[in-house]
Structure 1
Amino acid sequence: MKAENSHSIFSSGLRTVRIEKGLSQTGVCKALGLSTSALSSYEQGQRHPTINGLKILADFYNVTTDWLIGRDEYKPTKNDLVIQDPKLNYWYNDLSNASEEDWRKLRQLWEALKEK
C-alpha cells in the first residue's frame, strides 16, 4: 500500500467514524484534550498522530487501529457506544473481559451506591 493511500484511508476513516457516531470535532477535541486544528489536520490528511495518539483515537471511537489505517474491514455504526470521557471509555472496554462473577459483584456494588 502506498503511503499516500494509507494516509488518505486514515484521514477518511477518522472523519467517517466521527460523523457516523454523530460527534462534532469540538466535542471529540474536548473529550480527548486535542486542539481542533490537530483533529482537523488529521481528518484532512495534513498531519498524522503518533502511535499513542492513534491508539487513543481508536479506543475513543471503539474501533481498531487496523481499521483506522485501512487494514480491517470493520464498519463502525452510530449504534456503537462512544463514551465521551476517555478514562470511562477504557474502563467500559475492559468490562468485555469480565467474568459473570465480576459482573454480579459490579451490579451489587452499583445497587449499593445508588442507595446512598
Structure 2
Amino acid sequence: MKILVVDDELPICELLYEFLSQYGFQVNTATSGEEAISLFSKEKHQVVLLDVKMPDMDGIEVLKVLRKIDTRVEVIMISAFADEETKRDALRRGASLYLEKPVELERLKNILGKFSECTMF
C-alpha cells in the first residue's frame, strides 16, 4: 500500500517514513500542500496522512483538491490542535479519520493495516 505523508515539519515526515517503511508500506513525503498535490497527481496513493495546519495551504484545502483527483483515497487528518469545528469540517469534506498529535505509532500502524485489508485498488 502506498502512503503519502504531508506535514510541514520535516522531522515528522522523516519519523513516519522510517516507521511505516519498516512495516512494508511504500511511503512518500511532502512538506507543503502544493508538493503533496503534485506528488498525488503523478502517483496513485491509497492513503494520505495530512497535517491540518500548514503555512502555504492548510490541510482542508489540500483535502478538497485530493478528493477531486481521487474520491477513493483514504485521508487521515492529523493535528496538534483539538479544534472541533475543524475536525467536523474535515470529516464532512471526506476525511476518513481525524487524529490528534502526538499520534501513537502503533495505533496508526493498526489503522493502516485495516485500510490495507479493506481497500481494493
TM-score by length of 2: 0.31
Q: Relative to total residues, which structure has the larger helix share, 1 or 2?
A: 1
- Rg larger for: 1
Q: Relative to total residues, which structure has the larger strand share, 1 or 2?
A: 2
